[in-house]
Amino acid sequence: MGAVEINADGLQTRDLNDRLRDLMLAGKRKVIIRNVCGQRYIGTRLYSPERHRMEIDIFGTPGNDLAAFLFGHRLVVHGNAQDGVGNTMDDGEIVIEGRAGDVLGFSMRGGTIYVRDGCGYRTALHMKEYEGKKPALVIGGTAQDFLGEYMAGGTVILLDLKGQGHRANFIGSGMHGGTIYLRGSVNRSQVSEQVEISPIDEADRGILDQYVSDFIEKFPDLELIPKEVLKDDFVKLTPRSKRPYSDLYTY
Amino acid sequence: MPRKRRELYNKEICACSIFGAMNKDGERFNAAGVMRAIANMHVRGNGLGGGFAAYGIYPQYRDYYAFHLMFNGKTLQSQISAKAEFEQYLNQRFDVVHDEEIPHRPQTQLRDPPLIWRYFASPKKMGEDASLSDDEYVVRTVMQTNSRAEDAYIFSSGMNMGCFKGVGYPEEIGEYFMLDQLYSAYAWTAHGRFPTNTQAWWGGAHPFSLLDTSVVHNGEISSYGTNRWYLEMYGYACTLQTDTEVIAYAADLLLRRQRIPMEIVAKILAPPIWNAIDTMNEKEKKLFTTLRMVYGPLLMNGPFAIIIGQTGRLIGLTDRIRLRPITAATKGEMFYLSSEEASIRLISPELDSVWTPSGGEPVICELNSRRV
Amino acid sequence: MKSFVFPQFQIIRDEAKCGQCRGCERQCAFGTHIYDPVSDRLISDDNKCVGCQRCAIFCPRDAIVIRPTPSFYRPNASWSREKLEDVKKQAETGGVILTGCGNDKPFRIYWDHMVLNASQVTNPSIDPLREPMELRTFLGAKPNLMDFKVKNEEVEIATQLSPNLTVEMPIVFSAMSFGAISYNAFLSLATAASKLGTYFNTGEGGLPREMREKFGKHAIVQVASGRFGIDAEYLNCAAAVEIKVGQGAKPGIGGHLPGEKVSVSVSATRMIPVGTDAISPAPHHDIYSIEDLSMLIHAIKEATNYEKPVSVKIAAVHNFAAIAAGIVHAGADIIAIDGLRGGTGAAPKVIRDNVGIPIELAISSLDRRLRQDGIRNRCSIIAAGGIRCSADVIKAIALGADAAYIGSAALIAMGCNLCQKCYTGKCNWGICTQDPRLAGRLNVDIASQRLINLISAWSHEIQEMLGGMGINALESLRGNRDHLRGVGLYEWELDVLGIKGAGE
């Protein structure tokens, strides 16, 4: 079945999302949106009890909160994304051929996001997992401060493919679940007290193998070979305790 | 002894959108692109304020101070008499070579536009004032006028630059003043406002400016009381009921009066945290500790993203934990700053580089040569 | 002759619980409990009890209850029991009524009439557990304008800076002299201050030689009117020097440490003979006018090679703002103001309860006055006198202070229950006494840990409140009255405090 095209030039957020929803309810499976410029919440209004699934290609720069509350669809952005990508995302897949902004994957609880370049502040804030639903975030570059703040579950992988080094501070502040893998290394002072830095083991290699292969598949233009990426050192960040602040209060 | 009235003021909160564009070669362009860009972020504002600052727009009067005045009286009559009173005051202190109403569209849906006038003038310093620098003389004039007169407000006071603002969406303000037709500037900043005080007034929109320093600001300064408390000791009257004005005055105090380099000024407004300072080498540690010790009251706390415009440069800065977004981008000789990347892409779909600066790190763009 | 005054406290011993262990007899230095061998019971004399609760807390069987006796007189709004009995006591003795601790009378507590802000929607509150929240501050003079030299992209500071104290949190231990308090209590304060990164004030009793090396750099040493224990080494080992002109509990009058409290070690520290009275005259006899104070300030700066900030402590009284402004012009780097509720080891009750003004009003008016004169940067303000909790500290800073001194709160952390009998030298908690048997009860390790616990807990609370206001550095709260509102205050009080009423 062919794809339906929407020209977003001059469309307000509301109108664009109206059309997307109409297309979903009409049973369309593939949509291409061109000339996107700042429209928000693309992919958010696509909940249906019948669980329709769409594949949406976005050309241009989508606005804030792309795929917020996403209900299992697949979005590909051919360009950069802004803040709030995958906000409280429930399930689905997002591929960004460029960079993402701040609060990427905030409160994400399922699905996967692949970002080719880097991202901004407060990535994976309060990401969570529950009963078999385990979200993942794979980033080809690096992140800025407050990565994994309050993280409660899920997997975050930063590949730093350009070898710029991880310069984020306050990593894992308040982390009490989940795992962050960093290709390369990070200083103890960049990471919160509550987080354990450890080398990876066999089980971790298996996980990384899986996600790196998927990542490479999503971005064929990078011409990467999984073995090349995986041969370097990775570190694993995990929380020391599920109750990091139990000593703080007096009753 | 008469009781002193306590220092009551109402602080307005600013949630908004900001945008800036500059051509490093000094080539001038009109506001059409900037108006489209800021309009693209329409949803960040609520129509109760918009404004622009433009640099290089008065080349024929480049050596004169360009005063933009707002006369806000409720009736035309009161506006005219406020204007007459102001002109009397101005003519005593300045030689005015030209003055006129700032041109605007006659029909508009904007509500209650005040009478807006501009004057090109040079200082006439007499008596004690003769020892002051021209800039200092102008600052005093601005402070006196704005704290004294109810209905006359100087909202732009630089050379070869000007601010245009009012109550409305920024694109509406741009249209009202015909910024896309009448003016060419090498740098523009723009702002769309979402104030939480519904009694918006034309003077409350951004940019706030003093001499050639203009500021557009997204966020709220929680340290406003402290910043104001400190600046008032240096003669700045914080009368505009908006926290953005302390940024403009702090920039004037530090950049112009104390001649501190911008990189250091950024470290005063958004200093590194103590944990970071304690691990620096001795020299840096001493510098940053001293800055925080002496200029602590100028630390701008609370979420903010600001664009400061000055003759020849634009500076973007966010608070030290980057609670507000800002994206910087370049394409050839053009430099852009924006709350959202999409607005930049709208007017320049291809970009050489795009990045989000770290909290507390200034992004400075300067003209390749100082002559414009 | 029998006194006409009723006992203040009533001791109720549960005979069924009491195991006759005689612990209470050992604990009480006032001789309240005595074992009577004839009846094989402990007998208690209500008249001797001061209500310090030592025996009740330490009774292994919780058999003792000590409670204030009700007033036995016909209720009289003007002649309260206290006023009535004070007249009787003076008729019986012809003496000035002494007391200890701070003003206990129901003057308005402005801390309890101010509420704080919290940010929502327009400004995120900041979570101090996960984001940086900075309480470090500097006490001393700051320059108005700084000169910078820029060479090859490197910036250097050209202005000469005045010495400042660095405190990790805006709470400092107030002046309590060794002599007024025991050696162990004094050492506990010094230990806690050095571990916390703040300072303690030696009061006018000097700093014992053996403590100078380890604790000198955390000590603010006092130069008071009696000039006790001051030599060049004392001044130079300290972090700062404070000239005590007055204190909140007894503005305008001097102090008197009775000879029985001048033990061997007190005598050595104060450099006066054992058993002599230590009298601090009311004024410094070399300061009869403001220019004399200026001379003393500079003399001290000379004696310490200009390396230490000089503080001047004054009591908050009627026109003190003008005096304080003069003191700043005279060269002081820090002004410590002590309000109506400041504590003391001994003072005439009528002065403690009637002289001085509340510290809240004082901070605000001093801050405003210094700003109006354009000299606010030239000094730091430390507020003292009845600071009871972390909210009081934050409110003091929002009104314009740089830091707060705590006295009574520190003593309470060590065990004090404010029984107001410090002047007797019989403190059962080992705090305000020189009797070695009593002083030995205060364990320095435990007491200093309790102080550290208190200040750490308050620091966390301050961080939470700052975060709630959307502020992550203390310097952004100083003088920021916008974050305070008044509740239940008169218009003039709001004016003096410089704050709006709640809802405005």
Mean per-residue pLDDT over chain B, rounded: 89
Amino acid at A137: L
Residue by residue, what is the 3-state secondary structure of chain A?
Answer: CCCEEEECCCCCHHHHHHHHHHHHHCCCCEEEEEEEECCCCCCCCCCCCCCCCCEEEEEEECCCCCCCCCEEEEEEEECCCCCCCCCCCCEEEEEECCCCCCCCCCCCCCCEEEECCCCCCCCCCCCCCECCECCEEEECCCCCCCCCCCCEEEEEEECCCCCCCCCCCCECCCCCEEEEEEECCCCHHHECCCEEEEECCHHHHHHHHHHHHHHHHHCHHHCCCHHHHHCCCEEEEEECCCCCCCCCCCC
- Per cent of chain C over pLDDT 70 is 99
Q: What is the pLDDT of residue B2?
A: 46
The answer to whether residue C183 scores a pLDDT higher than 90 is yes
Q: Is A128 on the interface with B (CB under 8 A)?
A: no
Q: Which residue of C has its CA nearest to A147?
A: C130
Find which of B212-221, C285-294, C406-415 is predicted with most confidence, using mean pLDDT.
C406-415
* B285 SS3 class: helix
Report if residue B278 sits inside a domain: no
Mean per-residue pLDDT over chain A, rounded: 92
The answer to whether residue B197 scores a pLDDT higher than 60 is no
The answer to whether residue A247 scores a pLDDT higher than 80 is no
> Cα(A84)–Cα(A99) distance, rounded to whole angstroms?
12
Q: What is the pLDDT of residue A248?
A: 67
The segment(s) of chain C belonging to CATH 3.20.20.70 are: 137-141+162-501
Mean per-residue pLDDT over chain C, rounded: 91
Locate A81 and state its tokens.
């994304």
Q: What is the pLDDT of residue B92?
A: 94
> Cα(B156)–Cα(B136) distance, rounded to whole angstroms?
15
Contact assessment for residue C351 and residue C397, using Cβ atoms and an 8 Å cutoff: no
The total domain count for chain B is 1
Higher pLDDT, A114 or B168: A114
Asked if the ipTM is above 0.95, the reply is: no
Query: Distance from B43 to chain A by nearest Cα, in Å?
Result: 10
> Cα(A31)–Cα(A55) distance, rounded to whole angstroms?
6
Q: Which residues of C touch A146 (CB under 8 A)?
A: 131
The answer to whether residue B7 scores a pLDDT higher than 60 is no
Q: What is the pLDDT of residue C275?
A: 78
Q: What is the pLDDT of residues B268-300, one digit of tens each?
A: 999 999 989 999 999 999 999 999 999 999 999
**B34: confidence class by pLDDT, cuts 50, 70, 90:** very high
Locate A219 and state its tokens.
């971005």
The answer to whether residue B365 scores a pLDDT higher than 70 is yes
> Cα(A162)–Cα(A167) distance, rounded to whole angstroms?
13
The answer to whether residue A232 scores a pLDDT higher than 70 is yes
Q: What is the pLDDT of residue C267?
A: 82
Instruction: List, in sequence order, the alpha helices (H) in C10-145.
Output: 23-27, 54-58, 81-93
The answer to whether residue C226 scores a pLDDT higher than 90 is no
Instruction: List residues bridging with A6 in a β-sheet.
Output: A33
Distances (CA, A) of A41 to A55, A70, A83, A103, C337: 15, 9, 11, 14, 57
Report if residue B235 sits inside a domain: yes
Mean pLDDT value of segment C323-348: 92
**B149: confidence class by pLDDT, cuts 50, 70, 90:** confident
- Per cent of chain C over pLDDT 90 is 71
Q: What is the pLDDT of residue C130?
A: 81
**B193: confidence class by pLDDT, cuts 50, 70, 90:** confident
Q: Which residue of C has its CA nearest to A150?
A: C130
Q: What is the pLDDT of residues A54-65, one digit of tens each?
A: 999 999 999 999
The answer to whether residue B86 scores a pLDDT higher than 80 is yes
> Cα(C219)–Cα(C235) distance, rounded to whole angstroms?
10
Report if residue B280 sits inside a domain: no
**A168: confidence class by pLDDT, cuts 50, 70, 90:** very high
Contact assessment for residue C257 and residue C180, using Cβ atoms and an 8 Å cutoff: yes
Beta-carbon neighbour count of residue C460 at 10 Å? 18
Q: What is the pTM of this model?
A: 0.84
The answer to whether residue A110 scores a pLDDT higher than 90 is yes
Locate C291 and state its tokens.
């220019």
From B16, B163, B238, B365, active-site residue: B16
* C495 SS3 class: helix
The answer to whether residue B99 scores a pLDDT higher than 70 is yes
> Cα(B31)–Cα(B54) distance, rounded to whole angstroms?
9
Report if residue B3 sits inside a domain: no
Q: What is the pLDDT of residue B372?
A: 44
B238 counts as catalytic: no
Locate A75 and state its tokens.
């979005």
DSSP 8-state code for residue B167: S
Higher pLDDT, A2 or C377: C377
Measured between CB atoms, which of B43, B342, B354 is closest to A37? B342
Q: Which residue of A has its CA nearest to C454?
A: A250
> Cα(A69)–Cα(C52) distance, rounded to whole angstroms?
63
Q: Is B341 on the interface with A (CB under 8 A)?
A: yes
Q: Are B293 and C482 an interchain contact pair (Cβ–Cβ within 8 Å)?
A: no
Measured between CB atoms, which of A146, A174, A250 is closest to C129? A174
Structural class in CATH, domain A64-239: mainly beta
Mean pLDDT value of segment B210-238: 90
The answer to whether residue C298 scores a pLDDT higher than 80 is yes
Please name the helix (run of DSSP H) or strand (run of DSSP E) that holds residue C234, with its range, or none.
helix C232-237
Mean pLDDT value of segment B248-271: 91
Measured between CB atoms, which of C131, C457, C460 is closest to A173? C131
Q: What is the pLDDT of residue B3?
A: 47
What is the number of helices (H) and of strands (E) in chain C? 16, 23
Contact assessment for residue C333 and residue C379, using Cβ atoms and an 8 Å cutoff: yes
Measured between CB atoms, which of A36, A102, A145 is closest to B325? A102
Q: Is A218 on the interface with B (CB under 8 A)?
A: no
Size of interface B-C (CB pairs under 8 A): 132
Nearest CA to C314 among C335, C286, C333? C335
Q: Are B224 and C482 an interchain contact pair (Cβ–Cβ within 8 Å)?
A: yes
- Classify residue B182 as left (phi > 0), alpha (psi -120 to 50) or beta: alpha
> Cα(C464)–Cα(B182) distance, rounded to whole angstroms?
52
Q: Is A102 on the interface with B (CB under 8 A)?
A: yes
Q: What is the pLDDT of residue C290?
A: 76
Q: What is the pLDDT of residue C440?
A: 94
> Cα(B83)–Cα(C340) distance, rounded to whole angstroms?
53
Q: What is the pLDDT of residues C371-380, one digit of tens each?
A: 998 899 999 9
Query: Distance from B371 to chain A by nearest Cα, in Å?
Result: 36
Locate C356 and state its tokens.
């001085």
Q: Which residues of C touch A168 (CB under 8 A)?
A: none
Residue C24: partners with Cβ closer than 8 Å, 6 or more residues away: C32, C33, C42, C44, C55, C58, C59, C64
The answer to whether residue C34 scores a pLDDT higher than 80 is yes
**B1: confidence class by pLDDT, cuts 50, 70, 90:** very low
Beta-carbon neighbour count of residue C127 at 10 Å? 17
> Cα(C353)–Cα(A135) distance, rounded to whole angstroms?
66
Which chains are within 8 Å of B by 3+ CB pairs?
A, C
> Cα(C69)–Cα(C81) distance, rounded to whole angstroms?
11
The answer to whether residue C408 scores a pLDDT higher than 50 is yes
**A244: confidence class by pLDDT, cuts 50, 70, 90:** low
Q: What is the pLDDT of residue C104?
A: 95
> Cα(C361)–Cα(C496) distance, rounded to whole angstroms?
6
The segment(s) of chain C belonging to CATH 3.30.70.20 are: 9-95
Contact assessment for residue C232 and residue C257, using Cβ atoms and an 8 Å cutoff: no
Q: What is the pLDDT of residues A126-141, one digit of tens each?
A: 999 888 889 999 999 9
Architecture field, domain C9-95: 2-Layer Sandwich (3.30)
Q: Which residue of B has its CA nearest to A63?
A: B342
The CATH number of domain C137-141+162-501, selected from 1.10.10.10, 3.40.50.11610, 3.20.20.70, 2.40.170.20: 3.20.20.70
> Cα(C238)–Cα(A88) distance, rounded to whole angstroms?
57
Query: Distance from B273 to chain C by nearest Cα, in Å?
Result: 7
Residues spanned by the domain of B24? 14-272+301-366
> Cα(A244)–Cα(C130) distance, rounded to whole angstroms?
11
Q: What is the pLDDT of residue C132?
A: 85
